[in-house]
Structure 1
Amino acid sequence: MPTVPKIISVDDHIVEPPTLWTDRLPAKYRDRGPRVKRMKGQYGVRDGKGFFDTTVTEGPHTGWSDVWLYEDMVAPLTAGYAQYGLAKESRDPVTYDEIHPACWQQDARLKAMDANHNEASICFPTVPRFCGQTFMERTDKDLALAALQAWNDYILDDWCAGAGAGRLIPLSIIPLWDVELAAAEVHRTAAKGTSSITFSEAPHALGLPSIHSGYWEPLWQACNDTNTVVNMHIGSSSRMPTTSPDAPQFVGVTLTVQNSIHAVADWIWSGIFNRHPNLKIALSEGQVGWMPFFYERMDSAWRRADLYDPHIREVLPNPPSTYAKNHVYGCIFDDLTGLRLRDTIGMDHIMIEIDFPHSDSTHPHTQKVIADLAETAHLTDEETRLLVRGAAINCYNLHRYGITH
């Protein structure tokens, strides 16, 4: 059985401390910025948006919740955001007193990582949502920018500092509503030590310009110039693939990787990597087993460009698959098919994720899960090292945090 070295997880999550914004926002914003109020009720969905119904206080899925309030947002803390250690369904309301301290306290998180053979971790936001949609959707953009920067500064100055330095790797969010502000925030947070930003896998689904529009060029240039990786987490388009309104949940669970497939097609065909040679993207929860076929499909279309649009060869002088190298990184937790196709994908482009504290997290058994995957896929010790840490070190330039080999 291959040796499993200390793990670097490129996809975990932080549940923000309840006083993050009230502690950090200027006084004039504190009563309007994100804040917590304990309420009793039931989580529900109305017009496609989640809400907390305080008129329903008795029932199988009712209870006390620490509810995040911010302008028109009423977002209850539910078990799905902090599933580790909870014997509750994902939609059940919970409070900070109930969830595991490792969800939101640095010292407890580091102990949980130690117990899981986990050296380092990149954490995505919860209250801001995967790519900051919470701030984009609010009306007061001055407050939104202040709240967004407060989150980034908390991650850089508190969560990833002190005992967390070199173990909790900083990720930043950007103001999606203004590309110039977004580029400026990349430069600001990169100067403070961030490794990456999070972005939408399909910005047009959020009502923003598409990848093909050219609108985002200042942002990509900023990321290219600062070696900032662009993370696209499944669901960062605020939508998930399904087949029909009455399809069971497992249909959607099966199809989640479609979001990453669409994102890679957009990014490669747009020519972004040809224009920005240092730019990298990471597909959080995107898996990789689909990559060989879709790269082959894109190359086939490129060779037959005369039938579609010969201009594409000016955008992409080389076959599309060649732009995946050193630009597109996949993130997996159980993709045995992808590992068996590693010679086509590139073992140095496949990274592992733990997804703590969500329900599909492999914590606290990640070391065994990886050992079983490596044995079944016949990975060598070096291939296992690349999966567990080597690819992440190279992708995110983790040497800057003292993480090597």
Structure 2
Amino acid sequence: MPLQDHHKIVSVDDHLIEHPRVWQDRLPETFRDRGPRIVEANGNHVWNYDGTAFPTVGLNAVAGKPPEEWGMDPVRYEDMIPGCYDPSARLKDMDVDGVEAALCFPSFPGFGGGVFQRAQDKDLALLCVRAWNDFYIDEWCATDRSRFVPLSIVPTWDPQLAAAEVRRTAAMGSRTISFPDSPVPLGLPSFHNSHWDPFWHACEETGTVISLHFGSGGFVPGFSFSGTKAIAGEMALPDAPFAVAIATFSTNLMWSTIDLLFSGVLQKHPKLQFSLAEGGIGWIPYILERTDFVWERHRHYQEIDFDTRPSDLFREHFWGCFIDDDFGVENRHKVGIDRIMLEIDYPHSDSNWPNSRKRAAEVLVHVPDDECEKICETNARTMLNFPAPV
């Protein structure tokens, strides 16, 4: 049965482009000159943060443009459609697309706040993290709290500060934290390290889901600097075209999932929930088969859980997300029908906007009505504790 009119779509992965005043309106006056602000550079709009320029990459905001006009070049705000940076306009674009509600990830800070993790002045960075959270929850989501799902980022350089921000933003209504898909590329301890225990505890205590978005740890497969120049510490252009990175997005989350399944974190923190944003789902059945195979053969001599199969841990702690994944939908029962959600990815290049609902209907054409409802809406509402308005 195809997607019906009564099926509502809750997207667990969309994006916003911060408007130029986000930090200037919220930072203390003494920090504003060094805080994120938009400047003109060579005819483009560029973020300047503490003396460093950060161009707004064109592929971040291609909604409404034909593929022939896409590119990596910086853009101006007037080159984007208003729904990229204006929440009222975004609601109209969601209506056009047939989307009921959306969870929006940051752009300038990086999906998991990596820009602030790499900043030298951590006092300023902490203020910037808090300012983004205040902006998203109290300005963007306040436009319509039934349609925008509150999300936060945390100061990843300090687990105690991160835990405090989890609790602060949870009290404001935040449902999920966007966290690095791997902390290691950011120079942080791995998921296997007890360093993160205060953060895990705070997420469990508040019922906050951890969203692991592809690339939020700063590593982009096929596109990160590589080769002899990089080894020597020199800046080197990537050998591969960006198409390699786009095609291998999900490999980041394969690694993250396997890492967490064997980390012991899930046993120590049984209430943790992880959303695999922009990862697709077609790879999940194989990874579950492979991790179970490895567990069966190697659990006797390694420091891994002797009693719990990785596939069982996955179905207790992880949620898969897809934009356009025929193979994954065909194999949905091997993933777990209660653990699959839909994502729209507006305004990025993987999005099908303004035809997301039409494409979802094509992908779900052979899926029973009750399963369509779970994939499109109710699984996301369950994971995020974001009930439909009465």
Q: Scaled by the length of structure 2, what TM-score is found? A: 0.92
Q: Is the 1:9–1:121 contact (alpha carbons within 8 Å) kept by the matching residues of 2?
A: yes
Partner amino acid, structure 2, of 1:79: G
Tell me, in whole angstroms, the C-alpha distance in 1 between the residues paired with 2:129 and 2:282.
35
Q: How does 1:139-158 map to 2 (within 5 A)?
A: 139-158=120-139
What letter corresponds to residue 352 of structure 2 in structure 1?
A: T
* Aligned partners of 1:79 and 1:86 also within 8 Å: no
Distance 1:79 1:227 in 2: 35
The answer as to 2:196 corresponding to 1:204 is no
Aligned residues: 373
| Structure 1 pair 247–98 and aligned structure 2 pair: CA distance change class (3 A) | closer
Aligned to 2:9, which of 1, 7, 10?
Answer: 7
1: CA distance, partners of 2:243 / 2:72: 16
Deviations 1:336-367 (CA, angstroms, capped at 9, x unpaired)? 11111111111111111111011121111011
Note if 1:312 corresponds to 2:304: yes
2:198 is the counterpart of 1:218:
yes
1:321 maps to what in 2?
Answer: 311
- Matched with 1:397 is 385
Identity of aligned residues (%): 42
Q: 1:246 aligns with which of 239, 243, 248?
A: 239
Query: Which of 34, 37, 61 in structure 2 is aligned with 1:35?
Result: 37
**Structure 2 match to 1:60:** none
Secondary structure of residue in 2 paired with 1:211: coil
Offset at residue 140 of structure 1 (A): 1.2
Q: Distance in 2 between matches of 1:306 and 1:369?
A: 43
Range moving further from structure 2, 248-257 or 202-211: 248-257
Aligned counterparts of 2:375 and 2:157: Cα–Cα separation in 1: 35
Structure 2: gaps (5+ residues): 227-237
TM-superposition CA deviations, 1:54-108 (whole Å, max 9, x none):
xxxxxxxxxx211110114201223212111246332233211221110111110
Task: Report matched runs for 1:70-149 at 5 Å.
Answer: 70-86=49-65, 88-149=69-130
| Alignment-mate amino acid for residue 386 of structure 1 | K
Q: Report if aligned partners of 1:81, 1:90 keep a CA contact under 8 Å in 2.
A: no
CA distance in 2, matches of 1:34, 1:9: 28
2:349 is matched with which residue? 359
Query: What displacement does 1:306 show?
Result: 5.2
Q: Which moved more, 1:196-205 or 1:64-73?
A: 64-73
Kept in 1, the 8 Å contact 2:288–2:311? The answer is: yes
Moved more, 247-256 or 214-223: 247-256
Which segment drifts farther, 72-81 or 207-216? 72-81
**Do residues 25 (structure 1) and 27 (structure 2) align?**
yes
Gaps of at least 5 residues in structure 1 are 41-63
1:123-169 CA-to-partner distances (Å, cap 9, x unmatched) read: 000110110011111111111111110110111111001x3211011
Contact 2:211 2:276 in 1 (8 A): yes
Per the alignment, residue 209 of structure 2 pairs with: 229
From 61, 65, 77, the equivalent of 2:44 is 65
Most deviating of 234-243 and 126-135: 234-243
The AA in structure 2 aligned to 1:136 is: Q
Displacement of 1:28: 0.8
**CA displacement 1:180-220 (0-9 Å, x = unmatched):** 00000000000110000011111011100000111101101
Q: Which amino acid aligns with 1:320?
A: P
Q: Among 360, 365, 372, which residue is 1:370 paired with?
A: 360
Question: TM (normalized to structure 1)?
Answer: 0.89
RMSD between aligned residues: 1.6
In structure 2, how many angstroms separate the alpha carbons of the residues matched to 1:138 and 1:172? Answer: 18
- Paired with 1:120 and 1:82, the residues of 2 have a C-alpha distance of 19
Q: CA deviation at 1:403?
A: 4.5
